[in-house]
Structure 1
Amino acid sequence: MSHQSGHQHHIWVQSHHPVKLEPKLPQPLPKEPTFYYFAYGSCMCPVDLKRSLGENTHHYVIGPSILQGYRLGFYVYSPTRKCGVLDIVPDPKASVKGVLYQLPWRLSEYLDKREGVAQGLYRHELVNIHCQDQVYQDVRTYIVVDKLAEEAAPNDWYFNVVLRGAVTCGLPEEYCWHLFNHMYNLQQRNQERQLRESA
């Protein structure tokens, strides 16, 4: 019994003296440089983000968050998704809900590739994000470079990925319904246009 309690004491002492143990423990994750990233579209879904970054991203999630002074819109057509995808547009009266990640810097180029930065599809935008009663400054998000004059409808696959991400990461139910209705109305409008054009 005394041996067991002594063992527990040893663990307790270790946890209070991490500096002495750092060189011996292979834990590079807290050591590597990171950046904050605000996701408001398909990247809200950690499962979908894993496809691009090549590793699980659940443990990089800080939590649901809010971007003030912007609104959502589908102002770009993605050649890879073959549909309209999400963008943010400055709007002082609006806000966008999403997910705040703290990602290792080594994943930055993969995220840029996913967002088509080299092709001029999206560019970095540094914003302030409200999350868990804190304000995170200079958080990276992505904004469309050449916006369409009119929103382009998402396809069913993108629709589902965005909603799954919003629900999985705990965005408010009211906001999830707002997303659903926005995407559904765009799809309905697109179907009506196609019917008129084929008539």
Structure 2
Amino acid sequence: MTPYFAYGSNMLTARLRARVPSTRPVGPARLDDHALAWHMAGPDGSAKCDIVTTPGAMVHGVLFRFDDEELPLLDAAEGLGHGYDRETISVTTPEGEAIAALAYRALVHDPERSPYDWYKGFVVAGAREHGLPDDYVARLEAVPATPDPDPERAAANFALQDDPSPA
């Protein structure tokens, strides 16, 4: 099973499972010497999350595992090669275990964009679902967001956040 570190919208189990059906959460993890940035230039005109090397900083996220043959599904969802690039990183569990996991880094940045409200909702809901630290969740909640100009896309994404079957 492939280990994967989610730090953005994919932290919400229902969101990731809709993309990669065999997804199973392992639990919280952290990525040291990195910061969370909301600057990935999404194809819908909004900002998505990214991880940026930043000495002394830390990104909280969720470690998942999924069937190896489903990796192309996640690559497609992440726009491998034009949205994000995939790499192997080392994350640390709450027990102090270092685990090699896949993660995605943005290829195109635009710091002038902001996330849509539903995207930010995925990130915050995923952080809450997996019990990430309260101060970290509060920082996620404080990120300014913009309403999506496409009401159908917004409604579909908000509906997925209300999925009652996270695990």
Answer whether TM exceeds 0.5 for this pair. yes
Q: What SS does structure 1 have at the residue aligned with 2:113?
A: coil
Pairing partner for 1:105 from 68, 84, 90: 68
| Match in the other structure for 2:43 | 79
Query: Does structure 1 residue 159 correspond to structure 2 residue 126?
Result: no
For residue 96 of structure 1, the aligned residue among 59, 70, 95 is 59
TM-superposed deviation, 1:124:
1.1
Cross-structure match for 2:11:
44
Q: 1:138 aligns with which of 100, 107, 115?
A: 100
Gaps in structure 1 of 5+ consecutive residues: 1-33, 188-199
Quote how far apart the aligned CAs of 1:98 are.
0.3
Q: Could you tell me how far apart the structure 2 residues matched to 1:56 and 1:114 are?
A: 15
Alignment gaps of 5+ in structure 2: 147-167
User: Residue 134 of structure 1 aligns to a residue in which SS?
Assistant: coil
CA distance in 2, matches of 1:156, 1:147: 19
Q: Secondary structure at the match of 2:80?
A: coil
Greater share of helix residues, 1 or 2? 1
Structure 1 CA distance for aligned equivalents of residues 87 and 46 of structure 2: 23
TM-score w.r.t. length of structure 2? 0.81
Q: CA RMSD in A?
A: 1.6
- Percent of aligned pairs with the same residue? 29
Larger Rg: 1
Give the secondary-structure state (helix, strand or coil) at the position aligned to 1:116: coil
Contact map agreement 1:65 1:129 (CA 8 A) in 2? yes
Where 2:97 maps in the other structure, the secondary structure is strand
Where does residue 8 of structure 1 map in the other structure? Answer: none
Rounded to whole Å, the distance in 2 between the matches of 1:98 and 1:151 is: 24
Structure 2: how far apart are the matches of 1:56 and 1:167?
A: 21
- Higher RCO, Cα 8 Å, sep 6+: 2
One-letter amino acid matched to 1:50: R
Q: 2 CA distance for matches of 1:151 and 1:98?
A: 24
CA distance in 1, matches of 2:100, 2:28: 17
